[in-house]
Amino acid sequence: MRFDLVDLQLFVAVADSGSITHGAERANLALASASARIKGLEADLGVALVRRRRRGIELTSAGESLRDHARIIMHNVAVMQGDIAGFAQGVKASVHLLANTSGLSEHLPKALAAFLREYPDISLDVEERESGDIVGAIISGAADLGFAAEHALPEHLERFVFGEDHLMLVAPKRSEFSGRRQLDFIDVGNRDFVGLTNATALAIHIGKHAARLGIRLRIRARLRDFDAICRMVSAGVGVAVVPEAAARRCAQSMPLALLSIRDPWANRKLVICARSFKSLPKPAKLLVEHLRKAAR
């Protein structure tokens, strides 16, 4: 079997768009050329990869398998290109890490900063994602490592526990919550909230569980960091759900009441995950070992 990277890039584009026409546009190919390349792939492999429908295409089982492998290959090619280009800039390698909101804001910054100081020739590409999306990216090979809530991981992904993330409710110090230590989330479903921006992983996580309880959150303000959220709460704008580390830090300088949330989704183990730690590129392995030590 001989594979052309253009063919693989085209096939991923066709698979993602559900259309040879749209896939050709994404791959900057003429429709006739794209169609011929797909047929050529099928001929070389001896198996049908797509079923042509009146409106677009759908993948066969063989096509789904090729799409998954092609994504991994294209990711590795992109990593290779980035690493080679890095030599011209004095950087020898990079690691792609996906992290949820809590990890990115509360748990990882110190550890990652220490890693970058220790390894000046390695750069980090860190991106915020919701835990479920992180799992998909790791499985497909779109990222080297993930920092996610363990409950979102399938059994076959390798992982180790980095820390725990207890979500807490923060309320104004002088409010009906000031004498309480814990509550069920449904108890505050009718309150005004201060939250993170819609695109953040934690906002998505909280919103999903609120919806399962039949709660439509009344968001008075959306901000990008926990300190700003807590300042709004202390000023009486509403209540908020934030990680315990952020809540306790802010409570040292702001008049806040902190309450544990009894719902199971509010207590999460945070893990570093990968498809296989042994098969990672060396720079990613170095980061894994550094994070293992930081978790102790």
Query: So where are the chain's domains?
Result: 5-80, 82-163+269-295, 165-265
Note the pLDDT tens digit of each residue in 166-183.
999 999 998 888 888 999
60 confidence band (pLDDT: 50, 70, 90):
very high
- Mean pLDDT to the nearest integer, 102-123: 91
Query: What is the reported pLDDT for 141?
Result: 83
Mean pLDDT across the stretch 260-265?
94
CA neighbours closer than 13 Å in the CB half-sphere of residue 199: 3
- Based on its alpha-carbon atoms, the radius of gyration of the chain, rounded to whole angstroms, reads 23
Averaged pLDDT, 258-272: 93
Q: CA nearest 168: which of 100, 116, 240?
A: 240
Q: What is the mean pLDDT of residues 242-269?
A: 93
CATH number (3.40.190.10, 3.40.50.620, 3.20.20.80, 3.30.420.240) of 82-163+269-295 reads 3.40.190.10
**In whole angstroms, what is the distance from residue 152 CA to residue 127 CA?**
18
Identity of the highest mean pLDDT range in 71-75, 81-85, 89-93: 71-75
pTM across the whole model? 0.62
| pLDDT value at 115 more than 90 | yes
Closest by alpha carbon to 15, among 32, 40, 39, 38? 38
Q: Is domain 5-80 annotated with CATH 1.10.10.10? A: yes
Does 165-265 match 5-80 at the fold level? no
The residues facing 58 across adjacent strands are: 51
165-265 adopts what CATH topology?
D-Maltodextrin-Binding Protein; domain 2 (3.40.190)
Residue 248 predicted with pLDDT over 60: yes
Better-predicted residue by pLDDT, 142 or 285: 285
As a whole number, mean pLDDT of residues 154-162 equals 93
Give yes or no for residue 217 having a pLDDT over 60: yes
Q: Residue 91 — very low, low, confident or very high, per pLDDT cuts 50/70/90?
A: low
Higher pLDDT among residues 54 and 24, named by residue: 24
